[in-house]
Each structure stands twice: as structure tokens, then as C-alpha cells.
Chains A and B, each alone.
Chain A
Amino acid sequence: MTAVPALPEDATAAHEESGGWTGWVRRRALRSFPPDQLLPDKQPIYVASWIYVFGVATIAAFIVALVTGSVLALRGPAWWHGSGLGHYVNSTHLWSVELFMAFMVIHLWGKFFMAAWRGKRAMTWITGAVSFIASIGTAFTGYLTQQNLASQWVSTQAKDGLNSVGIGSYFNVLDFGQMLMWHIVLLPLAVGILVVVHVLLVRRHGVVPPFPPVVPPTEDAVEA
């Protein structure tokens, strides 16, 4: 094998700074997310607690909801209402969402009481909160598109509330096609993007540490 001659130092520097927009994105990505920070193999000791498990449990439930939702989209309502396997996948979709919401709320409680926005983690907190709101919208539009009596009941109850705040003409819960598109395209895409950004921010800033222990003031400090 022929040895490749090394580039002069100036040429190497010029190569690293060039590359158009792809080079800029690469340099920016490597600076913001170094590989050992993006995919760490060690975590601080305080992460060894069950309360830190609920973030990844939420993501696991979200993946199950996406996979079962994709199967439901492929087979259609006649299948999920009229066959044994369809009932099973439909139920799995429902229960994965139940777990997704439950795990996310427990994750939210844990992070709230840890004040997880500390240490320049405000955007991590905000993306989590917004993805929670988007998830509620996704679950709600899911109830509206079940094509059964429950979805009729939910939509006719919800329309009055939404009309009273003036968004009924843009977000019409009685329009099945519009609600289906919100449920299977727009809102899952929004939740997915928000979750990815949320996880990237957690990787960048690290997992929030617990509060430091409160040390009582010494006698000297009190006298001073």
C-alpha cells in the first residue's frame, strides 16, 4: 500500500474551514455534540435512581405507539374493528399511549421537584413541556378518530369548548379527515421532532444533578 503524503499544515487548516454549508453543519454539529457526549457510556452516580428511568420509559412507549399506529394505518378501520388481531393491535396502541402519558407525567413530576431547568437547561425543560402539550393533542385526536360511539361523544362535547375560544373553524373536531391527518401526520411529527431535540439537549447539557445538601451554618458564621 502506498503511503499518502501528508498535507502541509496550512492546506489542512484551509480544508477544515472550507466545505460549504455541509462543512459548516459538520463543524457546528461536532462542536455542539462531540461523539463522546452524544453517545456516552458512563453517567454520574446520581443517575442510578429509579426516578431517572421514566424518561427512557416514555420514549420506549412512544416507539411502541408509533409502530402499532403504523400497522393500524396500513390495515385500516375494518381490520382493527373486525378481526381478533386488529383488536389486539388496536388495544396495544391504546395501552402504549396510556403508559406513554403516565410515564411522561411521572418524569415531569420528578424533573419539576428537581428544578431540572437549573444549569442552562431551560430549553430542555421547555421542549419537554411543549412535547407534553403536543402529546395531549395527539392523544385527543386519537380519541376522535376511533370511528366508534366514544369518538362521536368526545367530538360533539369538544366542539363547544373549542368554538367558545374561536378555533373551531381552524381545528374542526367534527371533520374526521382533518382530525385523522392531525393524528397520524402533523402531531406525531411534532412530538417526534420535539423528543429528538429534547434528548439532544439532555446529551449536550447532561442530566440535571440533585440539589446539594443543605449545610447548617456554623457557630462562627452565625456570630459573624
Chain B
Amino acid sequence: MRVAGWAMSPINLNHPGRYVHWGVIQISVANLVLILLMVAIFAAAILLPFPGKRRRK
């Protein structure tokens, strides 16, 4: 199916998934990136100030 240029993914996903092997652990790069992103969001949620917090005091 032909997809318009503007609708194409910025990352080429049209290939088999890539995997990372580390001993008994095997994980796809996509899942690893997602987990790292979630950890980054978790850290940001704790560290970043919440808007309007000073006003509430």
C-alpha cells in the first residue's frame, strides 16, 4: 500500500525487529527504548516542579 510522504513514520519500521541479547535476557530495542522512556518520565515527574505549587502555599 502506498503511503503519502507526510504520513510516513520518521523512523523506518518496515523491517524485522532488532533485539538486544545480554546473557539470558533478550529484549527488543523498541521495548527497551519504551522502558527507558518510562523511567525518564518517572524521574522527571519527581524532579520537575509542579506549576502553581508556590501559589498554593
Contact A51 B52 (CB under 8 A): no
Q: Which residues of A sit under 8 angstroms from B48, Cβ to Cβ?
A: 50
Within 8 Å by CB of A45, from B42, B46, B57, lies B57
Going nearest first, the 5 A-B pairs with the smallest beta carbon separation are: A50-B45, A48-B53, A51-B45, A48-B50, A106-B42
Please give the number of chain A residues whose Cβ is less than 8 angstroms from any Cβ of chain B in the complex: 12
Contact A106 B41 (CB under 8 A): yes
Contact B38 A50 (CB under 8 A): no
Residues of A within 8 A of B (CB): 45, 48-51, 53-54, 102, 105-106, 109-110
Contact A102 B50 (CB under 8 A): no
Contact B41 A51 (CB under 8 A): no
Known: A45-B57, A48-B56, A50-B50. A105 touches B45 (CB 8 A): no
17 interchain pairs (CB within 8 A)? Answer: A45-B57, A48-B50, A48-B52, A48-B56, A49-B45, A49-B50, A49-B53, A50-B44, A51-B45, A102-B38, A102-B41, A105-B38, A106-B38, A106-B41, A106-B42, A106-B45, A109-B42
Taking the closest CB of chain A, its distance from the CB of B27, in whole angstroms, is 16
How distant is the Cα of A106 from the Cα of B52 in the complex, in angstroms? 23
Which of the listed residues B45, B46, B50, B52 has the most CB atoms from chain A within 10 Å of its own CB?
Answer: B45
How distant is the Cα of A110 from the Cα of B56 in the complex, in angstroms? 22
How distant is the Cα of A5 from the Cα of B34 in the complex, in angstroms? 68
Q: Which residues of A sit under 8 angstroms from B38, Cβ to Cβ?
A: 102, 105-106
Q: Which residues of B sit under 8 angstroms from A51, Cβ to Cβ?
A: 42, 45-46
Nearest chain-B residue to A42 (Cβ)? B56
